[in-house]
Amino acid sequence: MLQTIDMTSHTFQFEADFVDSLRCIPMQVRLKLDISGIKLSLAQWHQFSEAQRQQLVEMPCDTPSEIAQYRTTLQNWILSATDQPAKELAVPDHFPWEAATVPDSVQQQAATFDYHIADSQWQQLEPVQRFALIKLSRPGHENKNFQPAMAEFGLA
């Protein structure tokens, strides 16, 4: 089951160039999107006011009731902004960042920089850090922040 994560305090250094303006979707919001099962494009994100974006950053999304509220709020905002319902994602019973072992995609991306992440190192990371590494190692993703994230998390 999902661990309680205080995501409101997690802003990463590798996001510093855009997190103050919220022109991109911060990792803490991307994590909440995955937890709540909502797909949000950058174009949709830009449809929201600065106050709405900040609310999505600050809104809790840990307990089942908070997750449901986050999901409902986001669905309503997307529908209002685009006249289209939100795209929904399947929410798995266990998220990849909850695994005790390093996912292959993360290990492969680390190897491109001649790094290796031991399972013990992975287990010491906070769930939001694991989430960030998973997102930054996806195939087809620019991955420019993977190496800075590794350094920030003490893995490089």
Give the pLDDT band (50/70/90) at residue 96.
Answer: very high
> What global pTM score does this model have?
0.85
Contacts for 55-59: CB closer than 8 Å, 24+ residues apart:
56/29, 56/32, 57/8, 57/22, 57/26, 57/28, 57/29, 58/8, 59/32
Report pLDDT for 1.
33
More confident of the two residues 145 and 65: 65
Give the pLDDT band (50/70/90) at residue 93.
Answer: very high
Report pLDDT for 10.
60
Give the pLDDT band (50/70/90) at residue 18.
Answer: low
Work out whether the CA dihedral 9, 33, 92, 138 comes out positive or negative.
Answer: negative
Contact 136, 150 (CB under 8 A): no
Q: Which tens digits make up the pLDDT trace of 98-110?
A: 999 999 999 999 9
